[in-house]
Each structure stands twice: as C-alpha cells, then as structure tokens.
C-alpha cells in the first residue's frame, strides 16, 4: 500500500492553537453559565404568569409559611426575639444549604444533550444552578427583611456587614455541599436517596429553630459539629447583636467549606471525564 501515509505530527505545538488565554476562557465561561442560567429559568418558570419571579417568590412563600406556622404554634426558641425575625433569619439560611444541593443532585441528566457543545462542561451546569438558587434565596431574604422592617415586625440589622458575611459563608457552605453531593450523585444513586431524609432530619438541628446558647452543653457539643449552625448563629448575631448570645466558630466553618469545595471540585473533575453526552 504505497499510498498509505501516516500524518506527521509536528513536535512543536502550533502557537495559534493555543487560544485559551485566561481572559478568553473567562469570557467563554461567563457566556456559557449565562446561557445555562437562561435555559434553567425558562424550563423551570416558563413565560407564564409571573415567570422568573418565582425564583424568589417560591422561597419567600416557604419562609412566610414557616413564619406563620411558628407564630401560630408560638414556637419556643429560647429567646425574647419576635418569632417573625427568628423565622426569617433561620429559614432563609436553611434555603441556602438545603436547596442548593437539592438542585445540583442529578443535575447532569436533563442537561446531558447540551454537553455536545465543547464549552459547556459539567461544572457550568452546577455553577448556573448555584447562581440561581443563591440569587433566589438572597432576594427572598432581602425582600422579606425590608417588608418586615418597614412594617415594624423586625428591627433593622445591627451590623449589616456581619449579616452579609454570615450570608456569604452560608452560601459558600451551600455551594460546597451542593457541588460535592451533585457530583457524587453522578457516581452513586444512593446520594439522591439519602439526601432527602438527611436534609429533612438536619433541618431541626441546623439552628434554624433555636439558639445554640439555650441548648444544654451536651447537645451543644454535638450540634457544633454541624457547619451551618455556625453560619446561622453568626448571621443572627449580625441581625440581633446584643439581644442574643451567639455561639460560633467561623474558622471551623471555613475549614469545612474549603474541604467540601475541594472535594466537590475533585469529584466534578472525575465525573466530567466520564459523563458521556446524549
């Protein structure tokens, strides 16, 4: 076979082939995540009635429902704080760490066909969903706080910077946990099955419905292992400051967040290589 010619591969890579400068990559990343955000908004909320506003109306309805329930049952939370203020700060935090993972578990399957496009990677699917969940929970918290502060049901936060800091830490925890569980769910179906009961059971322990300081020391010792409880306490101290005694260790929470984030990114890396489009 004289005509058989193996293509010769040049030893030096073609410099023009390297288009992936950091700036170009960033532009592509933004474009892709935005496209996925829009795709997600359209499939989840459509163009009917209030459309994308469901993004924050839905979590607001949850928070309001819980607030009403706790008010009606005169829920005991161990402080002099009004139940409304207590419920809004506590339940909004829950929205972050519970909904982000719920959205990221099994997130690849409905988007699998979109992975045909080179620049759409598994991590972009997670980024877009995290962005949406984070935005929804944040807008919900802001709207509810403003409304209840304006109507005198709640005092304005004592330290707004601490509120933002606590919120960001909770959001980071939600993102880390979501990436970890989301990617792990691609490797094992058990994750999907376990997360529902686990998140349900974690809710009453997460500090949403009580202040750590009113718990007996034995319970405190166990509960402080939960990273989100530190964020919730810190957030509440930002809101109520001197009115409560908050117990937290933000260093511990930061370490948990870092570990979850690194683990999450590592599993995403493995999953990206093994996910086959279509």
Partner 1 sequence: MIIVDDVVKEYQTRSGPVRVLDHVNLIVRPGQQLGVLGRNGAGKSTIIRLVSGTELPTSGSVRRSMSVSWPLAFGGAFQGTLTGYDNLRFICRVYGVDPAERVGFVEEFSELGIYLREPVKTYSSGMRARLAFAISMTVDFDCYLIDEVIAVGDARFHEKCMIELFEKRADRAKIIVSHDPHYVRAHCQNAAVLSQGRLTYFDELDAAFEHYEQVAALTSAG
Q: Which residues bind partner 1 (CB under 8 A)?
A: 1, 3-10, 13-14, 16-17, 19, 27-28, 31-32, 34-35, 38-39, 42-43, 110-111, 113-120, 272-274, 276-278
CB 167 within 8 A of CB 235: yes
Cβ partners under 8 Å of residue 49, min gap 6: none
Distances (CA, A) of 217 to 162, 178, 222: 26, 30, 9
Rounded CA separation 129/65 (Å)? 24
Residue listed under structure tokens 């290589």: 273
For residue 164, the minimal CB distance to partner 1 (Å) is 30
Report, in Å, the least distance between residue 9 CB and partner 1. Answer: 5
d(CA 27, CA 251): 34
Closest CB 212 distance from partner 1, rounded Å: 43
* Beta carbon nearer to partner 1, 161 or 276: 276
Contact 208, 93 (CB under 8 A): yes
Half-sphere exposure (Cβ direction) of 7: Cα atoms closer than 13 Å: 2
Show contacts of 39-44: CB within 8 Å, 24+ apart: 39/114, 39/128, 40/128, 40/129, 40/132, 41/132, 43/110
Nearer to partner 1, 128 or 185 (CB): 128
Smallest separation (angstroms) from partner 1 to the CB of 54:
16
Distances (CA, A) of 231 to 71, 83, 171, 235: 24, 19, 9, 6
Least distance (Å) between residue 121 CB and partner 1: 10
Nearer of residues 14 and 218 to partner 1, judged by Cβ = 14
CB of 131 or CB of 254, closer to partner 1? 131
Instruction: Using the minimum distance from each CB to partner 1, give the nearer residue, 28 or 147.
Output: 28
**In the complex, minimum distance from the CB of residue 28 to partner 1, in angstroms, rounded to a whole number:** 8
Name the residue nearer to partner 1 (CB basis): 47 or 74: 47
């Amino acid at each position: 076979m004289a005509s058989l010619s193996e293509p010769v591969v040049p030893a030096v890579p073609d410099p023009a082939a390297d288009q992936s400068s950091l700036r170009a990559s960033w532009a592509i990343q933004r474009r892709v995540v935005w496209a996925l955000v829009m795709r997600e908004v359209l499939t989840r909320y459509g163009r009917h009635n209030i459309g994308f506003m469901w993004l924050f109306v839905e979590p607001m309805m949850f928070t309001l429902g819980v607030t009403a329930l706790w008010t009606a049952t005169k829920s005991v939370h161990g402080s002099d704080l009004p139940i409304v203020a207590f419920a809004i700060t506590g339940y909004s935090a829950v929205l972050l760490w519970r909904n982000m993972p719920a959205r990221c578990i099994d997130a690849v399957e409905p988007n699998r066909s979109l992975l045909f496009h080179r620049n759409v990677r598994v991590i972009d699917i997670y980024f877009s969903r995290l962005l949406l969940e984070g935005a929804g929970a944040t807008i919900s918290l802001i709207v509810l706080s403003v409304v209840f502060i304006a109507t005198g049901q709640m005092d304005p936060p004592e330290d707004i910077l601490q509120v933002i800091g606590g919120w960001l830490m909770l959001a980071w925890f939600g993102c880390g946990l979501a990436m970890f569980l989301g990617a792990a769910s691609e490797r094992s179906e058990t994750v999907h099955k376990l997360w529902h009961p686990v998140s349900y059971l974690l809710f009453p322990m997460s500090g949403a419905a009580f202040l750590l300081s009113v718990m007996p020391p034995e319970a405190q010792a166990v509960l402080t292992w939960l990273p989100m409880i530190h964020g919730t306490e810190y957030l509440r101290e930002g809101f109520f400051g001197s009115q409560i005694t908050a117990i937290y260790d933000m260093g511990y929470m930061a370490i948990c967040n870092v570990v979850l984030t690194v683990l999450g990114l590592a599993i995403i890396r493995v999953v990206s290589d093994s996910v086959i489009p279509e």
